[in-house]
Chains A and B, each alone.
Chain A
Amino acid sequence: MRRWPFILAVALLFLTGLGIATYRYLDTGMPPLPGQERMVWQIEARITFSANGDAAEALLTLPPDQNGFEFLSETGASPGFGFAIDRAGPQRRAHWTKRTVEGSQTLFYKLDLVQDTGRRVVEDEPKRRRAVSFDGAYATAANEVLNALRPKSANARSLAEQLIQEINTDPLDQNMSLLLQRYSPVRLTGALLSRANVTARTVKALRLRDGRRRQRLRDYLQVWDNDGWLLFDPRRGLIEDTANILVWQTGNPAVLEVIGGTRSRVTFSMVSQTHSALGLARERYNPFDLSLQSLPIAEQGMFKLIMTLPVGALVVVFMRLFVGVPTSGTFMPVLIALAFLQTELLAGLIGLVLVVGAGLLLRFYLSALNLLLVARIATIVVLVIALVTVLAVVSYRLGLISGLAITFFPMVILAWTVERMSILWEEEGPLEALIQGAGSLLVAVLAYSVMNLAAVRHLAFNFPELHLCVLAAILLLGRYTGYRLLELHRFTPFLKHSP
């Protein structure tokens, strides 16, 4: 009965629960509220080539870590081929090998990534590559183009924009049309920028569009601007919103190299999913993690229900100790609430009242038979099953699919409810049975409403440590000695004594 150690223990429980939850939130980025969704892209690179009959090797350059994307997982599924990821070069490369292979081959590389516009990858300014040398007339033309544009531009960015604009104007400037006879627009822009001492590179990138198949990489221009790369479309200029552009390859080596094969090509297909943020945190887990998410999906579903039970228990404790609602059976309401979670409220409520009501009628007949308790309950279980069957079949025949939901109620719980209600009825009278029945139902519906809150289900399952806080609250209520709310009504006769 010492007070302070108890309060200390409760506070410790509470803080521990909250602390672990906070830590996990910070560590895994598990969202504290449900439904915070982010776009997940599943990208598939499909490589086809025709093998010569000897050893074959395929090398696919893989996209670099970059702003705005976070890689979740990658696989290279290809039957018969050895697969490895080669990290030696400037960019990672997927490497497939096979000793002898002939005929047309298909290799897959799958990449899952999340769009995270806030994500930044810190890069140093790359060493400037030697400027492309233009010879003869081209050099003169290039110098003239640059001399014309330089006064109009303030920095690398504006110079690039001017250049792209100039290349895409119609009619073309004389110098420009000369240069374009020799160079592709992207290469020309890159070369001119280099000549102007701007760090620029041409990259190959994938435009992410949901559900697209057989997509190809396209050429873009990247220009270094103080602290990062700016992406330019060689036809339209600066791309402000790069959220849907995944840079795949930035220079050498080539995107795809196939040795021992011909007619090689790579195409991309992609789908997006609005994975809840939760799913992402889940996939990020390491194998040593002891969280509920490491369980198989079916068991997770089970635990999603089980984990709401403590919350329901808290509601019951609160309603009984603080409000003073009478219930038949201490935790029967939680079990009923649990069943409601599976049936949906209205269908469950109607089904429960129907079955328990009919069961009560039958039970009155049984009580005339003078059976012993165990036999009595067993009989009621059988009768309840019969009632449930009839209810399910009849409602289904009538086209009320929701009538089938009654099967979610645990039969033994229904039988016990019938038994308890009938004992109450006989011992305390119908009024008391009605009051306690209504009380149980009220508490059950309340527990259901709380257990059914998306936030509660989310937190209970994903932050199971928060149950320590629930426990602390239950312990605290367990020591509540004040009046129950309903006692304030019960003791109203004392009003006349109070001044």
Chain B
Amino acid sequence: MNWLISPQALRRQGVMGMNQRNLHFVGRYNPRQAYPLVDNKLRTKRLAERAGIPMPALIHEVSRQHQIEAIEPDLGQLDEFVIKPAHGSGGKGILVIASRDRDAFVKSSGERVDLNHVKHLLTNIISGLYSLGGRSDDAIIESLVHTHPMFTNLSIDGVPDIRVIVFKGFPVMAMLRLGTHASDGKANLHQGAIGVGLDIQTGESIGAVQRNRPLSEHPDTGEPLQGITIPNWRDLLTLAARCHDVTGLGYLGCDIVLDADKGPLLLEMNARPGLGIQIANGNGLGERLRAIEALELFAPGLEVRVDWAMGGIGLDQSRQAGR
């Protein structure tokens, strides 16, 4: 039977299920009132700015129709920018402008659009076309992320990001998410993106999966998925760990991008991060989470937590030795 696994085997490997995540972690460690901080990207941005967490810079926020009418001089000075809805999800309503050709805006795909198109998109965003509940929304205009050159052949279209699960301020598990044609460039695992498990201690790739199946090279580019090492790993983990401090969310997923110039930037946060990261890592979250719950530290500082994480807290030492 290779299409079923016994609950005992899963438990032995510390794999966390959805019910356990919701009840023991999301439900217990994430206060309801902190959700808007991560659901609204504008609030996330303001929060990050105050706390000094690097994010793609906010250029403009648009919440009213009359601001759209007067947007031309603001956009006129920009060569590249990204427009996204504050409450968007699944990559909907995002416009990436990579360059200018006189009056026309050139999208990352090379397609040209004019100012009216941009205005129309902004109108749609603030009228709530892309927000989940259909509520009126804000549009965010932010600076473009320049994908780190190491990812050039690893991702299709979109920017690859690194998802880090942070529990009580300790980074516990990480994976690199690469867009594919199947996922339409989006970095969402269940849409068909590739998840590359990353060693939490070093930032080195462990293995890769797409739709639950292991794979060794990118299906679209043929680029090997082994031997990837994320640079500045400690900085990235430190950035993730700080997200806990500013939001108060005990169990959260941080999506971090690597900018060619600015280094790790926080893209967004998620108060109910998915469980697919365990499959990408070939390892359950359970042991790590339990080890951190059992830690008796009084208000551990940022560096202390990152030290614990890079020290491999909760990792199965025997399995580690075998790797």
A interface with B by C-beta (< 8 Å): 1, 321, 324, 370, 372-374, 376, 426-429, 432, 479-484, 487-495, 497-498
Contacts and interface: CB of A to CB of B under 8 A. Distances in A.
Contacts of A481: 17, 19-20, 23-24
Given A1-B28, A321-B19, A427-B89, 11 more contacts: A428-B90, A429-B191, A483-B7, A483-B17, A490-B279, A491-B15, A493-B209, A494-B9, A494-B282, A497-B13, A498-B5
A489 B212 CA distance: 10
A411 B88 CA distance: 29
A488 B10 contact: yes
B134 A487 contact: no
Contact of A495 (B5, B23, B134, B278): B5
Nearest to B6: A488
A488 B2 contact: no
30 contacts: A324-B18, A372-B127, A372-B128, A373-B133, A426-B92, A427-B89, A427-B90, A427-B92, A429-B191, A479-B23, A480-B19, A481-B17, A481-B20, A482-B7, A482-B19, A483-B7, A483-B10, A484-B19, A487-B18, A488-B10, A491-B10, A491-B279, A492-B2, A492-B4, A492-B212, A493-B209, A494-B9, A494-B15, A495-B9, A497-B283
A334 to B, nearest CB: 20
Nearest to B130: A427
B28 to A, nearest CB: 7
Interface of B: 2-7, 9-10, 12-13, 15, 17-20, 23-24, 28, 89-90, 92, 124, 127-129, 133-134, 190-191, 209, 212-214, 278-279, 282-284
B154 to A, nearest CB: 21
A324 B127 CA distance: 35
A226 B15 CA distance: 77
Contacts of A429: 191
Contacts of A482: 7, 17, 19-20
Contact of B18 (A370, A427, A484, A495): A484
Most buried by A among B7, B18, B190: B18
A489 B23 contact: no
A475 to B, nearest CB: 13
A481 B90 CA distance: 28
Contact of B214 (A484, A488, A489, A493): A493
Contacts of B191: 428-429
Contacts of A373: 128, 133-134
B124 A490 contact: no
A108 B285 CA distance: 82
A293 B220 CA distance: 67
A374 B133 CA distance: 10
Contact of A484 (B17, B134, B213): B17
Contacts of A426: 92
Contacts of A483: 7, 10, 15, 17, 19
B134 A372 contact: yes
A287 B214 CA distance: 70
